[in-house]
């Protein structure tokens, strides 16, 4: 039998720091497998929350649920609530495009489209085709600057995005996500398939972006989590074991499992 995870108040400020995303008693099943088991977690507005845990613990399933990507996967069933600024993401949105405009997602493998660099940035903009050339260029520049890619690509905006390096492609994917002006950024191991230098550039970028965005970052890289997390959510075997501020989780975790995982990357659940 599983016990409900004990929640810790984030830095003692939970009451006056409204959660941007509030997951409560959330369950996911797929093909008879119980993938997420009564997960409750609060993701505070602004700042970086790192979701960590062993492989297969349900981290990707959790953030894919927040973007409702699992709705499209045959056999997936969910129960429980996910609220975004008080709205239920399953019942209070007329369409998925609106939800995904507000909650953007970046995946582990950079997925640029076989189009130009500029077209990739503009891809998600519903009104993109109606904009003047000057406005389109302004949006492209603004978002490429936001991911520190402008200087590298400003002279080759019409070249194919596939000609960029892996690290540049991942930053382009983040620029494409930012261009639709989301409030939440979901990132599933965005540095796992890029070189270490690009990985550090993306970390620096997230530290800048966290001033304006609520960032949920799945990472298996505990050193990265220590470097950039404001909050940490620890998951194991489909359950949320513990959550709290980086300091509380690293220095005084309540659960032995959390201490073992965060200190030694080991978990026996
Ligand atoms: N599309 C799917 N079909 C069946 N099982 C899945 C699917 N996606 C994930 N799972 C299972 O759900 C569990 C959690 O997976 P995942 O969320 O990807 O974990 P993590 O991201 O922590 O590595 C794993 O046991 C995985 O095999
Ligand atoms: Mg994963």
Domains in the chain (CATH in brackets) are: 10-110+165-264 (3.40.50.300)
Q: What is the pLDDT of residue 12?
A: 33
Displacement of CA 68 from its chain's centroid (Å): 13
Q: Given ligand 1 and candidates 41, 55, 61, which is best to mutate, with the most ligand atoms within 8 Å of its CB?
A: 61
Please tell me the distance from the alpha carbon of residue 36 to that of residue 237, in angstroms, as a whole number.
8
Q: Which ligand is nearest to the CA of 56?
A: 1
Q: What is the pLDDT of residue 223?
A: 94
Length of the chain: 269
Rounded to an integer, the average pLDDT of 2-16 is 37
Sheet containing 76-84, strands listed edge to edge, beginning at the edge strand earlier in sequence: 33-44, 19-30, 76-84, 87-88
Q: For residue range 239-266, what is the model confidence (pLDDT) as tens digits?
A: 999 999 999 999 999 999 999 999 887 7
Q: Which ligand is nearest to the CA of 69?
A: 1
Residues, CB-to-ion distance under 5 Å, ligand 2: 60
Q: Does residue 15 surpass a pLDDT of 80? A: no
- Three-state DSSP at 14 gives helix
pTM: 0.89
Q: Do residues 267 and 257 lie in contact, with contact meaning Cβ atoms separated by under 8 Å?
A: yes
């Amino acid at each position: 039998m599983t016990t409900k995870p004990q929640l810790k108040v984030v830095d003692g400020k939970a009451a006056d720091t409204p959660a941007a995303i509030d997951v409560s008693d959330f369950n996911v099943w797929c093909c008879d497998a119980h993938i997420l088991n009564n997960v409750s977690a609060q993701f505070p507005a602004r700042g970086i929350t790192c979701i960590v845990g062993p492989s297969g613990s349900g981290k990707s399933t959790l953030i894919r649920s927040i973007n409702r990507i699992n709705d499209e996967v045959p056999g997936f069933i969910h129960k429980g609530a996910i609220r975004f600024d008080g709205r239920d993401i399953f019942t209070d949105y007329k369409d998925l495009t609106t939800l995904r405009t507000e909650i953007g997602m970046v995946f582990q493998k950079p997925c640029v489209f076989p189009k130009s660099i500029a077209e990739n940035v503009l891809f998600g903009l519903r009104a993109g085709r109606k904009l003047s050339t000057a406005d389109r260029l302004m949006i492209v520049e603004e978002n490429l600057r936001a991911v520190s890619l402008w200087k590298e690509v400003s002279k080759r905006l019409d070249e194919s995005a596939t000609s960029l390096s892996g690290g540049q492609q991942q930053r382009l994917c983040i620029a494409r996500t930012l261009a639709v002006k989301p409030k939440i950024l979901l990132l599933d191991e965005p540095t796992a398939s890029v070189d270490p230098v690009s990985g550090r550039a993306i970390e620096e970028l997230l530290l800048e972006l966290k001033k304006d965005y609520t960032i949920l970052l799945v990472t298996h890289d505990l050193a990265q989590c220590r470097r950039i997390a404001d909050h940490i959510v620890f998951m194991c075997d489909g359950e949320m074991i513990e959550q709290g501020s980086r300091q509380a989780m690293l220095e005084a975790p309540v659960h032995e499992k959390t201490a073992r995982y965060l200190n030694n990357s080991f978990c026996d659940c």
